[in-house]
Amino acid sequence: MNRAKAITILSLALLTAVPSWAADGSGMLDIEWTPMNILIAMILVLMLMVMGYFWYMTEVLVRNYREDLMKFKGIEPAPAEKVSKKSLWQQFSEQMWKIVPIEKEQNIDLGHDFDGIRELDNRLPPWWVYLFYITIAWGGIYMYIHHFSDIGTSQKEAYFEEVAEAEIQRLIYLEKEANKVNETNVVAISGEGDLAEGHDLYIANCASCHGQLGEGGVGPNLTDEFWIHGGGVKNVFKTIKYGVPEKGMISWRNQMQPVTMQKIASYILTLEGTNPPNPKKPEGEEWVAEETEGVVEEG
């Protein structure tokens, strides 16, 4: 048995055995029955068959070259090499190609001759046709698995999985973008959810010094139009970020993310003009908003 035959038989054996191994997961390979695993196994088997075919063709070329060389040298080939009986592999190859011999080409000649090139009615190679049939069969199997059974993932399930993955990626992107906020590009946000979160953050971290309603206490009043370190979202954000150590206000940049300070600053701006009871006297200078301070981002 030559090497090409061995590879062919091994390929066919694998092609026959893999579905049974994959079906119940209890075979030698313990393969989980999934369309992808079966497809990979079939591709591997087809690759082995192609390798076997090229191996065979290499042997044929070498044998023909040897015979030509022996004839050129005047050496009579051994009787064993003159055996014309076709091997199983040769028969299989002929069935896969169905090549019409040159001496019979007149039977498929269509009568069209262009510059000495004749048009023949050759059929498609059977291997190509069979492969086409396999793709059709696989399409039917795929439709059953993914549209009519519980084995595979349906289009609807795949859609929701991709949407969920996209949402995760979106949140990661927004978190990265949020961390790029600083005192030079920060804008006031007006979304109800963001302002509500800003209120909760203010109560938890700022109310002890500035009052529950922003009326002031240890720190200045945040409800009037007077500001010690400048009003507007950029100045308020900067004050929160770096603090005022000489007056006892700590820097929050190591304890809060930029987007968190942005929400607090945006909420503080909404306190102006609320007139809480017992407000602290105005401190600093009256702040006149610049045109750029009017930019509001809906969030």
Q: Say if residue 292's pLDDT is above 60.
A: no
- Where is average pLDDT lowest: 19-23, 74-78, 227-231? 19-23
- Where is average pLDDT lowest: 72-76, 96-100, 131-135? 72-76
Query: pTM of the prediction?
Result: 0.44
Query: Nearest 5°: CA angle at 182, between 177 and 186?
Result: 85
Q: Residue 231: inside a domain, yes or no?
A: yes
Q: What is the pLDDT of residues 171-222, one digit of tens each?
A: 888 777 767 888 888 999 989 999 999 999 999 999 999 999 999 999 999 9
Q: Which residue has the higher pLDDT, 59 or 267?
A: 267
Burial 91-127 (b: 16+ CB within 10 A, else e): ebbeebeeeeeeeeeeeeeeeeeeeeeeeeeeeeeeb
- Count of structural domains within the chain: 2
- Domain boundary (126, 148, 170) is at 148
Confidence at residue 117, expressed as pLDDT on a 0 to 100 scale? 86
Q: Which of 161, 210, 194 is nearest to 261 (CA)?
A: 194
* 140 and 230 in a common domain: no
Contacts of 208 (CB under 8 A, 6+ apart): 217, 218
- Domain boundary (127, 148, 169) is at 148
Range of the domain at 253: 188-297
User: By CB neighbour count within 10 A (0-12 exposed, 13-18 middle, 19+ buried), where does 8 fall?
Assistant: buried
